Amino acid sequence: MLSYRHAFHAGNHADVLKHLVTIQLLRYLGQKDTSYMVIDTHAGAGVYALDGGYASKNAEYESGISRLWDRKDLPPAAAEYVDIVRQLNPDGKLRYYPGSPYCADAVMREQDRLRLFELHPSDGKILTDNFRRLDAERNPRGNGRGKRVMIQLGDGFHGLKALLPPPSRRGLVLIDPPYEVKEDYRHVKNTIEDALTRFSTGTYAVWYPLLNRMESRQMPDKLKRMKANGWLNVTLTVKTPSPDGFGLHSSGMFVINPPWTLEPMLKELMPYLVKVMGTDSGAGFTLESGQTKAVDTGTRRV
C-alpha cells in the first residue's frame, strides 16, 4: 500500500523516541575509527515542514518535539537530539523536522555510508531532492558527496539483502515500516531473521506502534526469540489509550545486538520523557533487556 505519508506524524512522541535511540546507536558506532554503514529500509521524505502541509493538519509534533524545544533541563541525549533539530531551524523557530535519514546524516562521519530506501514515489522524490539540496549547500562547487549517501526508490525489505554484510562489517539497520497492513509485522520478522544469517553482528533497530491489534502486541516477543547476542526493548506511553482504540498513544524501539551504553542512558532518559511528554496518569515507559530479564517501569502521576 502506498497511502501512508509520514509527514502526518512528523515530530510526534514516537519520532522523539525513535530518533533519540537512533542517534545514540550511531554515536556508539562512531567511537571506533573504522567506518560503518547505516541502512534505513523506510526512509520517508527526509525533512518535514511542520507549519504547513500534512504535518500541520493534526499537529502531532505538539505531543513530541515541541515539548522539548524550549526546555533548559534536557538530559545529554535529549539535548543532542534537539540540537540536531535546531540545525534545520537556525532562527530558533520550530518549522522543520528531520526524519531518520537527516538525523543519521548529522551524526555520521565522512567515511561512513548511508543507504536509504523509500517505496512511496512522492516521498522518494522529495527525499532525493532534499539530499541534493543538502549536497549543494555543503558543496557549493559541485564536488558532491560521492558514494557516501545513496538513495534507492524501492522496497527496503527486499533491498536490504544485497547490502549485507557491509564491507566494514559494522553497521546499523533501521526498520520503520508504516504497519498499515498486518503483513508488515511478518515482513519485519522475516527480514531480520534473514539479515542475521548474513550479518549476525550488526545492530538492528525496529520501531513499532503499540496498538490494539494482535500483531502489534506480539511483535516484541517474536523479536526476543531471534538468535543474536542480546536485545533491548523500550516503550514510551504518553497517555491512557482511548476507549475506541484509535490514536497512537504508545510506541517502542526494539534493538537487536544493542551497545552496552544504551540501557543505562535510557534508564536516565525515559523518566524525563514521561514527565515532559506524558499527559495523564497513563503515561509511562518500559525498559527491558535480554541480558537481565528485568523490566523497569515508570508511571507519571498527575
Nearest residue to 174 via CA among 44, 13, 261: 44
Number of Cβ within a 10 Å radius of residue 271: 18
How far apart CA 289 and CA 232 sit, in angstroms, is 4
| 199 neighbors 166 (Cβ within 8 angstroms) | yes
Of 83, 176, 221, 244, which residue is the catalytic one?
Answer: 176
Residue 257: left (phi > 0), alpha (psi -120 to 50), or beta? left
55's grid cell:
504535518
- 176 catalytic? Reply is yes
For residue 118, say whether it is annotated as part of any ligand binding site. Answer: yes
For residue 155, say whether it is annotated as part of any ligand binding site. Answer: yes
β pairing state of 171-175 and 149-152: unpaired
The contacts of residue 27 (CB under 8 Å, 6+ apart) are 80, 107
Number of Cβ within a 10 Å radius of residue 113: 19
Assign 254 to helix, strand or coil.
strand
The contacts of residue 150 (CB under 8 Å, 6+ apart) are 113, 114, 115, 116
104: which strand partners? Answer: none
Q: Is there a cis peptide before residue 178, judged by omega within 30 degrees of 0?
A: no
| 43 neighbors 105 (Cβ within 8 angstroms) | no
For residue 66, say whether it is annotated as part of any ligand binding site. Answer: no
Number of Cβ within a 10 Å radius of residue 279: 15
For residue 42, say whether it is annotated as part of any ligand binding site. Answer: yes
For residue 19, say whether it is annotated as part of any ligand binding site. Answer: yes
14's grid cell:
514516537
For residue 187, say whether it is annotated as part of any ligand binding site. Answer: no
147's grid cell:
558514494
Query: What are the residue numbers of the active site?
Result: 176
User: Binding site residues for S-adenosyl-L-methionine, as ranges?
Assistant: 19, 42, 100, 118, 155-156, 176
